[in-house]
Amino acid sequence: MTACTALLKPFSPQEKVARRAPDEGQMKRNPPTSPVTLTKARQLRRDQTDPEKKMWRVLRDRRLTGVKFRRQVPIGPYSADFCCIGRKLIVELDGVYHAETGEHDLRREDFLRTKGFEILRFPCAEVSRNRSKVLDRILQALNAE
């Protein structure tokens, strides 16, 4: 058992509330998110890839060290695959289509960094092959504060 799997114990509802950071889950919508971006984020939540489903099983319900993650979070005109608002951390899973959208990804990352987010990128194949390595890297980023 790796260090990561020992941390994946689900929390009770009371533990979730007790572990919540004061501003966790709150994000100012300034400027407001457009209806198009919201619709796209909802569609992405419904149509998750297999690696996204695997990662969401680990990140949801504060299963990873009690930290709250949300999926397909609209931030400005973009959506982040997984986002921890309280820690300003975004986890992105890159499929094969990302090779074709390099310039768009750079603009997107620049925008998100100006909003104060740290961005971790992982190939979808890495999540499928070596999820514990991916989780270790996420834990390092969470504990870097």
Please indicate, yes or no, if residue 113 is contained in any of the structural domains: yes
Please indicate, yes or no, if residue 85 is contained in any of the structural domains: yes
Q: How many domains does the chain have?
A: 1
Residue 96, domain extent? 49-145
Please indicate, yes or no, if residue 57 is contained in any of the structural domains: yes
Q: What is the CATH number of the domain that holds 140?
A: 3.40.960.10
Please indicate, yes or no, if residue 4 is contained in any of the structural domains: no
pLDDT of 2-59, one tens digit each? 555 545 656 666 666 556 555 555 555 455 678 777 777 777 777 788 899 999 999 9
Please indicate, yes or no, if residue 36 is contained in any of the structural domains: no
pLDDT of 66-98, one tens digit each? 999 999 888 988 889 999 999 999 999 988 665
Q: Please, which residues have CB within 8 angstroms of residue 16's CB and are 6 or more apart in sequence?
A: 61, 62, 66
The pTM assigned to this predicted structure is 0.73
Please indicate, yes or no, if residue 139 is contained in any of the structural domains: yes
Which strands sit side by side in the sheet containing 70-75, from one edge to the other?
70-75, 78-84, 89-94, 118-123
DSSP H or E run through 137: helix 131-143
Please indicate, yes or no, if residue 5 is contained in any of the structural domains: no
Please indicate, yes or no, if residue 24 is contained in any of the structural domains: no
Does residue 108 sit in helix, strand or coil? helix
Using only the alpha carbons of the chain, give its radius of gyration. 15
Longest dimension (CA), the chain: 45
